[in-house]
Structure 1
Amino acid sequence: MLYVFPDGLTAKVAQEYRRPYADPVKGKAGDLLVPDYSRETDLFGWTWCRNDAGQEGWAPGNWLAPHGDKLRLIRDFDAIELTVTAGEIVMLHYAESGFCWVTTTAGETGWVPDAVLVLPAS
């Protein structure tokens, strides 16, 4: 379920997290993705998908609607994850199914697992 954080809320990175994929799936609302239900994850609510450009990655099921044998994005989405280090402060934007969309102090924006964050930053 999408949760939008209040403006200006930050979190502290409690442990390092490394980006697993360099160029993952992304798309605009209305784009069709091809799901691969054989890919397993321990994170509830995510489906492995491929776009027309051949990019693959995990997409939140809450942002996907069935469309024949494909899935249609109901909002813009980018699966890019960030590499963050312990002690770093990030600006929180929203959370979905165990991940937070954040911006680092260096200006990078992407997903990090909520399990590596401490709220609020101290």
Structure 2
Amino acid sequence: MRVTSAWRATYVPALAVRAGDSVTPGRMDDDYPGWQWVTNASGLGGWIPASLLEGGRVASDFDTAELTVHPGMIVTSLKTRAGWHWCRDRTGNEGWLPASHLAPT
């Protein structure tokens, strides 16, 4: 995919959760429907797909890392969730990008 708009990783460090982890659910994202803010026991927060929450537990492993990119870059989309793509750039870095910032090549 071709990056059409710049994106900068928003939350560093990113939150990585494992299936069964306890989290504190927070607000739903107004800009990206289907995503919910969660906070782990250490106080680190991040956005995860709301569909992965079962009460206060995470149903499957998830990494909230985002990828910093600039227009014109080529990335490979490896999976999608709720309007976002998990992408790999040509140097091997991986992270989430909003679909609105990508176009097919």
TM-score under structure 2 length normalisation: 0.92
Check the 8 A contact 1:98/1:114 in 2, yes or no.
yes
CA-based RMSD of the aligned residues comes to 1.3
Structure 1 runs (4+) greater than 2 angstroms displaced: none
Kindly indicate whether the alpha-carbon contact (under 8 Å) linking 1:89 and 1:105 is maintained by their aligned counterparts in 2. yes
Distance 1:80 1:106, change over 3 A: same
Read off the aligned partner of 1:44 and give its amino acid letter.
P
For residues 64 and 101 of structure 1, the distance between their equivalents in structure 2, rounded to whole angstroms, comes to 19
- Counterpart-to-counterpart distance in 1, 2:91 and 2:42: 28
Q: In structure 2, how many angstroms separate the alpha carbons of the residues matched to 1:106 and 1:28?
A: 26
Q: Which residue of 2 aligns with 1:110?
A: 95
Q: Which residue is 2:12 aligned to?
A: 22
Q: Secondary structure at the match of 1:20?
A: coil
Cα distance in 2 for partners of 1:111, 1:17 equals: 10
CA distance in 2, matches of 1:23, 1:60: 18
Q: Which residue does the alignment assign to 2:35? A: 46
Gaps of 5+ in 2: none
Distance 1:40 1:114 in 2: 16
Contact 1:92 1:100 in 2 (8 A): yes
- Long gaps (5+) in structure 1: 1-10
Question: Aligned equivalents of 1:117 and 1:40: distance in 2?
Answer: 20
Asked if 1 retains the 8 angstrom alpha-carbon contact of 2:23 and 2:41, the reply is yes
**Match of residue 80 from structure 1:** 65
Aligned equivalents of 2:40, 2:23: Cα separation in 1: 5
Q: 1:32 aligns with which of 13, 16, 22?
A: 22
Match of 2:75 in 1: 90
2:86 to 87, 93, 101: 101
CA contact (8 A) 1:25 1:49 kept: no
